[in-house]
Structures are given as structure tokens and as C-alpha cells.
Amino acid sequence: MKRFYIDRLIVSGKGHEDSVIEFKPGVNFILGPSNTGKSLVMECIDYVFGFYPSKDHPSKIVDNNNGYEKVTLILSTSSGKLTLTRTIGEPRIYVSGAKFTPGYYSTNHNAKSNINSIYLHLLGINEEHKIRSAQRGNRTQTLTWRSILHLFFIKQADVTRESSPLLAPGGFGDTTSLAALLFLLTGQDATNLSTLEDPKITEGKRQALVDYLIDKVNYAVTRRTEIEKELSSAQETDSYINIDQLRQQIAEIQSMINDATQQSHDLMSEIYQLNGKLSEARTVKQSFSNLRIQYQSDIKRIGFIVDCASNTDTNAAKVMCPICGTETDNKMDSSIIVSSAAELHKIKQNLNELDYAQESIDNQEENLIATINSLEEKRSNIDNLISEQLQPRLANFQNKLETHLKYIRLSDELALIRKAEAELRNELYEKETQEIPKETEYHIKDDYNAQLIHGFEERLRQVLKESRFGGAETARLNMDNFDIEINKLKKSVCSGGGNCGILNTITALTMSNYLIELNRHAPGFFAVDSSLTQLSESDYKEQNETIKQNFIEYLIKHEHGRQIIFVEQKKRMPFIPEEDEQAGIHTIIFTHDRNNGRYGFLNDVYNPEDQQ
């Protein structure tokens, strides 16, 4: 599709040095204080674009030309440079270059050779097209350059208007403006007129349903925003995780826990058996101890008997019993000593064998205790492995799995929410565009389909979001007044009246970009004057949080691929962009100071207080 750009603006006259503004691809900033000719730059461009002054709509360059005589505009086109020169006060423009037949072209589009055909031809519109001009009947008018210029060129007088920037200001009716825009978006003109009407519905019921659908859409937007915010953090940390891998890792760790638990149980069973053996050994050991005591008692007893027998007086007839203390006959029997000695020998032998057995059972007890301690240590290590390593790892992977499953559930919900939101918006669009039909009336809005409008709305919301505009997610095109609406509020009240300028700029800029994106008819430039002038923001806001800051940064970041002409008071700018050809930034500053830089647009023209 054909595009053209503004290359240079020249205002000239006898006795004056030419006043020249050179424009470049990318974002062109024309900045300066009041009364330096910033808006005059736009007025001069518009004058060559075919503006015809009237009593109600005068031209600054005509009423106060300061002795300058001509305004020249040089355009870059697909066929080369095109020069257009208009003598101040005349209704015709001289055209030369870019394969056009040189000569004068009238600003009256009804004239045989008119400037309208030149500009439409630069857009690739080579044939005359009729568009609707009224709701009633089949009235039409010719598509003109002036009927679409407001979409790409906004002067200071129009930038803050409360009516839609998508509708042409001045004498153009809404139907004409909507029909012209529809032609740009779709190529549809008034070739086949239709007088079919929509079914008649109750206006109150329709409005109630519209309000209900708006609330549903806003709820869906709120929920979608919440999910997108939650998913953005989840995607940063867990989106790389594969669920099958997670489940495999969990199964492997669980298997390790099961194996370790079984080992612990097996060790416990073995420890239990060894403790039984240890108990048996200790019982035997206790028996050995008791037996040792018995043997020792027997040795004492036998020793006592032998001692008594050895020490008994063989001559005495009577002796005292050492046990009971009674007197008894002295009977001396040497066999007692012999048998006692034999028994004593046997007991000592048994005691020696008991010592050997005692040593064996002690060794057995010691070995059992050592083995049990070793098994207990192994079991403790396994239990620590389970509690301190395996179970925390298992819990970690289970948490990751649950987080990722939650992410998947949220993703599924987000898909459903988005689908529901789209369906609600379509239904809202259909209900909102239904009007109570009147006979012989035609509503041009009926020819705008939901897909076309919603495509524009999506891009509009994106620009508003990047400009940090409050409520950007709820922004939509109200089909009643064909203007932006935020949180169900008109632009003049959504955040204060000072927002009209910036919202009109963003709306028109988005539409011009949308036309280019759709590869439809549109010039390669967008120009606006004083979009920030009425915008006042809180002093408590950080600069990087202001709409002004973020909108200018948006222009620099996203619009350097085309040509933007941004005219603004220097003091209204959040920062002054520096000249950077590589980044597509061109800055022209009028200083209002004769001794410093460029005073203003027109050379040798100064304010009374600065004249010498």
C-alpha cells in the first residue's frame, strides 16, 4: 500500500530568509514556549493540505503572515519527492514532481483539477468513491482527503475536543466520518446501498442488557488480569518443569524411601532377635553367678568340716557340737576328711569349668552387644537418611508438582476466561449496536463488524497500558458515540478533563497504526499539536509512573518505524528527547531567546517584548 511522508516545510517571501523545518523518519519533536510558532507549523502544513479559511475557522498564516508570501510542503512518496506550493491567500496549490503533471490544483474538491485527487492518489486511491452522508435515504458524497485527514493530523484547536477524534470536526456529519473510516478499514463504499433495518427492540431492555454485559466483561477482565499476574510469576520459576519427569522423580524417591524403610525394619527385626539372644546369655550368666556362689559356699562348708575334724581332741570323751552348741560324744571318723577332700576337689574342678563357661558367655554377651550397637547405628543412619534427606526431597518435588499442576489449571482457566471474554465482548458489541430502527434510516455503524472493532480495541488497550493509564484493561470503543470509554466513563470524566488531549491522541494514533497494520489506505505520518497541554498529574507520582513520561517513551520505543510529528510546549514535556538519528529521534526547539538557538518558526518574527 502506498505511503507518503513529510520531508520539509518552507515559508518564504521577499525580504525574508526562508523559514524551514526539516522532518525526518521516526519521532519529530517540535518544542518550545508559547508564542514561538509551534502551532503555526501545523497551520502551515494544513494550509498546503487544502485548508480553506472561513470566518468561523480562520488561518493563522493568512491573517498574520508577517510579510511572508508562500508556503511550500515537500513530501517523500513512492514515486520520489513531491513539491506543493500555495501562495498565501490563494485557493490553489502548485504541484510538481513525483510523476504528477505540473500545474495548479484547486482546494475545491468539485473542481476538475483539485488537490484532493493528488492526496488520495498518494494513498493509492485512484478512483472516485462515494460514501454515505446521511442516515435517511440514499444520500452520498465523494470521499475527500479532508474527510479523513483528522485521523492522521490533529491541530491544537481539535486535540482536546470532547467529541470522538475518529469523527471529523467541523462541517462533516457523523455518518460521513464513519463511512469514510469504514472505507479506509474495509474498502466498502456506497456502491450498493441498503435500507434494511435491524429488528425493533425495547431501548430500556437493550441498555439494561448492555450494562449487564459490561459488568460481566469487566469481571472477566479482572479475573483474567489476576490469573495473568499469577501465571507470570509461575512461568518465571516453574514453566520449564516437565510433569512426567517430576512424577518419575517422585516415584524414584518414594522407592528409595520404601527400600530404606524396609532395611530399617529388617535391621530392627535382627536387633530384636539379637536382643533375645543377649537376654538368654545374660540369664545364663546370672545362673553361672548363682552357681559360683553355691560352689563357693560348698567350698567354705567342706573346708569348715575338714577344719573341725582336724582340730577335734581325740582324747576327749565328750565334745561340743560347733553347729548346735550341744555336748555330744566324741566320735572320730577319718573317712569324713577323705570324702570331703574328694568332694572339694570335684567342686574346684566344676568351678574351673564354670570360669571357662563364664568367659565364653561374657565373650558372647560382648559380641552380641557390639553387633546390636552396629545394627542400631546402621538403623539410625537409615532413619536419618529418610527423615533428613529423602522425605524433604520428596516434599520438595511434590510441592513443585502441585505448583505446576496449579499453573496448568490456571492456564486452562485463563483460556476459558479469554474465550468467555471474547464471547461477551461480541455479544456486548451486537447488543450495543442495536438501535431502535426508524423507517428509511440507515445506520453506518451496523457495517462495522465486531472483529474489526475488537482488533482496534486490543491495540488501544495495549498503548494505554504501556502509557500507564489507569483502567486501561477496561478501555473500549463505545459504539453510541464512537469514542473511547474507560471503566464505563466518557474520556472527559474518566480521570479528569485534562485527559481529553492525550486520549484523543492515543485513539487517533492507534487507528492510524491499525490501518497500516491492516495494509489499508493511510499516510506514513501522524502529526499532533499540544496533546499534553491540559494533562496535569499528581506531584506525588514518580516521574516514571506518569502518563506523560510513559507515553513519550512509548512513542520513542514503538513509533520510530514511521513518522511522528509531536508539537508541544517545552514545559509540558516530562523530559526533552535528545537528537538521536540512529534511534529515530529528531528534536527541534524554539527558544524564545534571540541570543540562544532558534527563536521561533518564522525568521525575523519576534514577540513585541523581544523586538529591538
Q: What is the pLDDT of residues 527-554, one digit of tens each?
A: 999 999 888 876 556 767 899 999 999 9
Q: Rounded to whole angstroms, how far apart are CA atoms 167 and 190?
A: 18
Distance set, CA 559 to CA 409, 525, 566, 598 (Å): 38, 10, 11, 26
Longest dimension (CA), the chain: 181
Residue 501 burial (CB count, 10 A): 27
Q: Rounded to whole angstroms, how far apart are CA atoms 76 and 498?
A: 35
Please classify residue 107 by burial: count the beta carbons closer than 10 Å to its beta carbon, then call 0-12 exposed, 13-18 middle and 19+ buried: buried
Q: Rounded to whole angstroms, how far apart are CA atoms 316 and 318?
A: 5
| Set of cell numbers at residue 266 | 529388617
Q: How far apart are the first and last CA of the chain?
A: 52
Q: Rounded to whole angstroms, how far apart are CA atoms 446 and 284?
A: 107
Q: What's the DSSP call for residue 17?
A: P
Q: Rounded to whole angstroms, how far apart are CA atoms 22 and 298?
A: 133
Residues of the chain with pLDDT below 70 are 137, 192-202, 234-241, 308-325, 328-334, 435-441, 495-497, 538-541, 543, 612
Which residues, listed in sequence order, are joined to residue 484 by a DSSP beta bridge? 477
Please check whether residue 22 is in contact with residue 5, taking contact to mean a CB–CB distance below 8 angstroms.
no
146-151 long-range contacts (CB < 8 A, ≥24 apart) are 146/49, 146/50, 146/51, 146/109, 146/116, 147/172, 147/176, 147/177, 147/180, 148/180, 148/181, 148/184, 149/46, 149/49, 150/177, 150/508, 151/181, 151/184, 151/508, 151/511, 151/512, 151/515, 151/522
Alpha-carbon dihedral angle through residues 552, 556, 560, 566, given to the nearest 10 degrees: 30
Nearest to 45 by CA among 274, 28, 286: 28
Only one residue has cell 513525483, namely: 98
Residue 440 burial (CB count, 10 A): 11
Please, what's the b/e burial string for 279-302 (b: 16 or more CB within 10 A of its CB; e: otherwise)? eebeebbeebeeeeeeeeebeeeb
Nearest to 190 by CA among 135, 229, 149: 135
Residue 597 burial (CB count, 10 A): 12
Please check whether residue 308 is in contact with residue 343, taking contact to mean a CB–CB distance below 8 angstroms.
no
Q: Rounded to whole angstroms, how far apart are CA atoms 594 and 604?
A: 10
CA 226 to chain CA mean position, Å: 10
- 3-class DSSP state for residue 9? strand
Only one residue has cell 555336748, namely: 327
Return mean pLDDT, the chain. Answer: 86
Listing DSSP states for 114-176 in one string gives BHHHHHHHHTT--S--EEE--SBTT-EEE--STTTGGGTEE-HHHHT-SS-TTS--TT--HHH
The CA R_g of the chain, rounded to the nearest whole Å, is 52
Q: Which domains does the chain have, with CATH numbers?
A: 5-197+437-607 (3.40.50.300), 243-423 (1.10.287.620)
